[in-house]
Amino acid sequence: MVIGCIGCGNMGGALVEGLLRSAGSGKRFCAYTRTAARLAGLEAQGVQRLSSALEVAQQADFLLLCVKPAQVPGVLEEISRALTADKVLLSVAAGVSLSKLARMSGGLCPLVRCMPDTPALVGKGVFAFAFSDNLSRERAEEILALFRNLGLCIEIAESQFAAFSGLIGAGPAYVFAMMQALSQAGVTLGFSHEASRKMVQALVEGCAVMAEKSPEHLAELKDNVCSPHGLTIEGVNVLDRRGFSGIVIDAVLAANARGLAMEQES
Ligand SMILES: NC(=O)c1ccc[n+]([C@@H]2O[C@H](COP(=O)([O-])OP(=O)(O)OC[C@H]3O[C@@H](n4cnc5c(N)ncnc54)[C@H](OP(=O)(O)O)[C@@H]3O)[C@@H](O)[C@H]2O)c1
């Protein structure tokens, strides 16, 4: 199997690096990106640099399209004649639907729409996938297995992409905002910026692992920290009085609404 990537910037580069680590033997990699220097790191890991997007599309069985959404039509126009029914094209372009990809790619090649979140850049992503009708179940499972080494993979209906983007795509911004606020509180209480940030990072990582390992409801995990007449319940009461949960839910719903509008616009 030859895995090809067109557009090796932040996301394309991270996906190829992750797949290089996880794909095992029997896979060959090739790539083309506009600024050739960006491929130096991948070339050193065995990725063959080709001289055009078309060449990658001709050589690859599984093609990752990782250019910006506005660049997708131009690239697909260039490579569509190489996109035959025996290949698979996966696009990570935000807001570009399977039907648009099918229209722009000539309609023969099976398609995958994939939405990663930014932690995919460090190999801890959450990936949503939707597959075109002409992609067999067997190939869809192969692709899911390939990406499972890069993070959590879920298959969703295409109509849920805006919801996924509002919750998980935008999710790092919500989590970083919470981390930044906690870190700022730590500085206010006299910890250094560095110590505060490090402690908050470890706190969030520890909570994520605890949530993963525990069968208890998240509300129970929260209650377990709140001793009667203790200090945590005083802090949690402030969150509840100020409507913390409602604010977070409203943020996700607002992002979802914008995502739905963007799907219509693009
Ligand atoms: N970054 C994220 O967290 C994230 C999350 C979800 C989805 N995505 C999706 O991932 C895609 C890429 O985003 P990104 O953040 O990785 O952007 P990026 O860092 O700008 O990468 C895009 C790459 O494509 C290259 N490129 C542009 N036109 C090209 C062409 N005609 N042929 C070959 N290569 C071309 C660019 O080359 P130059 O270096 O010369 O500009 C750049 O290296 C977008 O569609 C975005 O919606 C990204």
Residues 97-120: pLDDT tens digits? 999 999 999 999 999 999 999 999
Given a cut of 80, whether residue 80 has pLDDT beyond it is yes
- 3-state secondary structure (DSSP) of residue 227: coil
- 150-183: pLDDT as tens digits: 999 999 999 999 999 999 999 999 999 999 999 9
Q: What kind and span of H or E run contains 260?
A: helix 244-265
Q: Which two tokens stand for residue 137?
A: 């179940």
148-153 CB contacts, 8 Å cutoff, 24+ apart: 149/18, 149/21, 149/22, 150/15, 150/18, 150/19, 150/22, 150/120, 150/123, 150/125, 151/116, 151/119, 151/120, 151/123, 151/124, 151/125, 151/126, 151/127, 152/125, 152/126, 152/127, 153/127, 153/129
Ligand 1 pocket residues where CB is under 6 Å: 6-12, 32-35, 38, 53, 66-69, 71, 74-75, 92-94, 115-116, 118
Between the two ends of the chain, the Cα-to-Cα distance in Å is 33
Closest ligand 1 atom to the C-alpha of 11? 16
* Distance from C-alpha of 260 to C-alpha of 125, rounded to nearest angstrom: 22
Mean pLDDT of 245-252: 98
Over residues 139-148, the pLDDT tens digits come to 999 999 999 9
pLDDT band at 266, cuts 50/70/90?
low
Fold: same for 2-157 and 169-265: no
* pLDDT single digits (tens) 182-200: 999 999 999 999 999 999 9
User: Considering only 15-29, 49-63, 84-98, 177-191, which range has the smallest mean pLDDT?
Assistant: 15-29
27 contact partners, CB below 8 Å, separation of at least 6: 1, 2, 3, 19
Cα(10) to ligand 1 centroid in Å equals: 7
Residue the block writes with tokens 């090796």: 8
* Per-chain mean pLDDT for the chain: 96
What dotted CATH number matches 169-265?
1.10.3730.10
Confidence of residue 21 (pLDDT cuts 50, 70, 90): confident
- The pLDDT value given to residue 12: 96
Q: Where are the domains of the chain?
A: 2-157, 169-265
Residues 88 and 139 sit within 8 Å (Cβ to Cβ): yes
Q: What percent of the chain has pLDDT over 90?
A: 94
16, 33, 38, 56: which to mutate for ligand 1, most atoms within 8 A of CB? 33
Segment 207-240, tens digit of pLDDT: 999 999 999 999 999 999 999 999 999 999 999 9
Q: Is the pLDDT of residue 265 over 80?
A: no
Nearby residues of 112 by Cβ (< 8 Å), 6 or more positions away:
88, 89, 90, 91, 129, 130, 131, 132, 135, 140, 143
Burial call 122-146: b when 16+ CB within 10 Å, e when fewer: eeebbbbbbbbeebeeeebeebbeb
Highest CATH level, class, for 2-157? alpha beta
Q: What is the pLDDT, as a whole number, of residue 61?
A: 96
